[in-house]
Chains A and B, each alone.
Chain A
Amino acid sequence: MNTYPISIRPFGLHAVLIEWPNEVEETILEDIIRYMGQLKTHLDNEIWELVPAYNSLTLIKQDKPIDFSSFSKQLKRWYEEKPEVLANERFLWRLPVCYDLDFGIDLEDVSNRMQLSIAQIIELHTRPEYIVYGIGFLPGFMYLGGLDASLEVPRRQTPRLKVERGAVGIAARQTGIYPQESPGGWNIIGNCPVPIFDISKTPPCFVKVGDRIQFYAISRAAYQLRTIEGEVGIYQVEKIKLDA
């Protein structure tokens, strides 16, 4: 079990920001999630919201201001406590992506720029198990880490005003799915027909920070079927439980 030199600072009167070393590191994320599980046993979830991302955890309190000096000491004590083994259920989600050129509108461009065939791009993109380092920007938008270095292509010079819902993009060291139609500057290489954020489901977003994502390629026919399933809400997402 790693322990890190964490910093605890006020973020306005109603939030506290806890930071780990400034690195994208799986073991740091593990420690954040472990600590988050521990905090959930101490803090009233009617009052507190916890937002993890990369190397930070932000605790946001509704209504009354936080007494920072006593609360930060308490947080420090909790962090240093010998943690009991907490069952943080985590999953690997396998998500289908159609890499047809109609969806992967930047595939040919990426292929030219990176000197890779489209088949190689698909192979490189579907191989890793990506780690969900954060969810934000849009409801259900996942910050995924673990993109193969040979797919590190810069963002597009001019962002598109409209990127389709489900669009799968790559930019710099990141890959992700646009959960809703949105402006966007990433290179679009495919489309995922599974709704990542669905208000008719509880919880509306099945993925949590710390989960893993792996993509697999599907045909256009399979894509159409999955889209219809998504629209009527009967889709299943393949998941594999990860060991804590």
Chain B
Amino acid sequence: MLKVLKSGFFTTVQDLGRRRYRSMGVPVSGAMDHYSVSKLNMILENEVNAAVLEITMTGPTVLFEAPTHIALGGAEMSATLNNEPIDNHKIYKIQEGDILSYGRLEKGFRAYLAVKDGFSTEVVLGSRSLFFPITKNRCIADGAVVPYEVNRAFEPKISAYKVDSLLGATILEVYRGPEFDLLNDRQLEQLFGTDFSVAKENNRMAYQISELLAEHQFSMLTSATLSGTVQLTPKGKLIILMKDGQTTGGYPRVLQLSKRAIAILSQKKSKDQIAFKLL
């Protein structure tokens, strides 16, 4: 068991998410920066769908109650293990009673804590990802316990890896969305000729963009949306749906982020700069 002494700003359990329930309106959920998570699960020789903790902005303090191995990744958040600084992208052996805590957010926005064999919390509709009210909890509370299996036998094949970090990336590669063609020259010029900043309205459901495009009056019938779908509201607001985003929407879907671009955006916070590049 992992005992959560302090939970941090917004800490959740995430795996690859909830598939097959979109037609009932259930968001996919899953780790926002799947790129970082897949690397962590790879070095720990976990299944690709192993559940990790997603740690947003400020990190938790946790006590390990059983031996295992862990690895950290995603945002840089100056973590310590029993008060000794530890690095991202390295495997650490954990003894019963070890305490992991996080300090300042240095770079990025979402850090990940992966454990050997993944966290073994309850599976709801095929996933351990927290999403209220599909799961009882929205996020992990102070004092919560997060189960994992004891593992004394694991001998990692590699102890660390170099990453091609996405934390500094600002270019979001996009495809044309279904309603791309309704963009006029002015809007196209704005979209691909200027930088944008992330609005304070940003979370696991959607990232809004501060700058407005020219207004439009196009209305459409509600249709499916995906993670990474960029919607344009009649007032010119860009809303980028993320992993907990709704499964259908009625705003024009002007762009679609690549999977890599979703991971890049997941590490952005309010006021960070981004730009779109059409593939």
Is B258 engaged at the interface, CB distance under 8 Å to the other chain?
Answer: yes
A233 nearest CB across to chain B (Å):
15
CA distance A17 to B175 in the complex (A): 14
- Choose among B19, B21, B224, B246 the residue that contacts A58 (Cβ–Cβ < 8 A): B224
A90 nearest CB across to chain B (Å):
14
B204 nearest CB across to chain A (Å):
15
CA distance A42 to B255 in the complex (A): 29
Is B146 engaged at the interface, CB distance under 8 Å to the other chain?
Answer: no
- Is A141 in contact with B224, judged by CB distance below 8 angstroms? no
CB-CB under 8 A from B247, the residues of chain A are 51, 136-137
Q: Which stretch of A8-16, A76-84, A91-99 is in the interface?
A: A8-16
- Choose among B22, B24, B224 the residue that contacts A17 (Cβ–Cβ < 8 A): B224
Is B277 engaged at the interface, CB distance under 8 Å to the other chain?
Answer: no
- Is A56 in contact with B133, judged by CB distance below 8 angstroms? no
- Is B133 in contact with A55, judged by CB distance below 8 angstroms? no
Is A54 engaged at the interface, CB distance under 8 Å to the other chain?
Answer: yes
- Choose among B20, B25, B258 the residue that contacts A136 (Cβ–Cβ < 8 A): B25
Chain B residue nearest to A206 in the complex (CB): B24
- Choose among B177, B248, B256 the residue that contacts A53 (Cβ–Cβ < 8 A): B248
Chain B residue nearest to A140 in the complex (CB): B25
A71 nearest CB across to chain B (Å):
16
Given contacts A12-B258, A17-B223, whether A204 and B24 have CB atoms under 8 Å apart is yes
Residues 156-173 of A, flagged 1 when their CB comes within 8 A of B and 0 if not, give 000000000000000000
Is B134 engaged at the interface, CB distance under 8 Å to the other chain?
Answer: yes
- Is B221 in contact with A12, judged by CB distance below 8 angstroms? no
Residues 33-58 of A, flagged 1 when their CB comes within 8 A of B and 0 if not, give 00000000000010001111111101
- Choose among B22, B25, B178, B226 the residue that contacts A138 (Cβ–Cβ < 8 A): B25
- Is B224 in contact with A199, judged by CB distance below 8 angstroms? no
B227 nearest CB across to chain A (Å):
9
Within 203-250 of B, Cβ neighbours of A (below 8 Å) are at 220-224, 226, 228, 246-249
Given contacts A52-B23, A62-B19, whether A134 and B124 have CB atoms under 8 Å apart is no
* Interface size of B in residues (CB-CB distance below 8 Å): 32
* Interface size of A in residues (CB-CB distance below 8 Å): 42
B138 nearest CB across to chain A (Å):
12
CA distance A141 to B247 in the complex (A): 11
Residues 159-189 of B, flagged 1 when their CB comes within 8 A of A and 0 if not, give 0000000000000000101100000000000
Given contacts A136-B246, A136-B248, A209-B23, whether A51 and B224 have CB atoms under 8 Å apart is yes
- Is B22 in contact with A60, judged by CB distance below 8 angstroms? yes
- Is A51 in contact with B22, judged by CB distance below 8 angstroms? yes
CB-CB under 8 A from B177, the residues of chain A are 11
- Choose among A24, A50, A199 the residue that contacts B134 (Cβ–Cβ < 8 A): A199
- Is A12 in contact with B226, judged by CB distance below 8 angstroms? yes
- Is B23 in contact with A135, judged by CB distance below 8 angstroms? yes
Is A203 engaged at the interface, CB distance under 8 Å to the other chain?
Answer: yes
Residues 27-39 of B, flagged 1 when their CB comes within 8 A of A and 0 if not, give 1000000000000
B76 nearest CB across to chain A (Å):
29
Is A70 engaged at the interface, CB distance under 8 Å to the other chain?
Answer: no
CA distance A174 to B201 in the complex (A): 28
Given contacts A10-B175, A141-B25, whether A56 and B224 have CB atoms under 8 Å apart is yes
Residues 107-126 of B, flagged 1 when their CB comes within 8 A of A and 0 if not, give 00000000000000000110
Given contacts A53-B221, A209-B23, whether A199 and B125 have CB atoms under 8 Å apart is yes
CA distance A205 to B134 in the complex (A): 12
CA distance A58 to B228 in the complex (A): 15
Interface residues of chain B, those whose CB is within 8 Å of chain A, are: 19-27, 124-125, 133-134, 175, 177-178, 220-224, 226, 228, 246-249, 253, 256-259
Interface residues of chain A, those whose CB is within 8 Å of chain B, are: 9-15, 17, 19, 22, 24, 45, 49-56, 58, 60, 62, 133-141, 143, 179-180, 197, 199, 203-205, 208-209
- CB<8 Å pairs between A and B, sample of 25: A11-B226, A12-B175, A12-B228, A12-B256, A15-B226, A17-B223, A19-B178, A24-B221, A51-B22, A51-B23, A52-B23, A54-B221, A54-B223, A55-B221, A58-B224, A62-B19, A135-B25, A135-B248, A136-B248, A137-B25, A137-B248, A137-B249, A143-B222, A197-B25, A199-B134
Extra pairs beyond A11-B177, A15-B226, A136-B249 (8, CB < 8 Å): A12-B226, A12-B257, A19-B178, A51-B247, A55-B223, A62-B19, A180-B133, A204-B24
* 10 A-B pairs with least C-beta separation: A136-B248, A58-B224, A12-B256, A205-B24, A54-B221, A51-B224, A56-B223, A139-B25, A136-B247, A139-B26
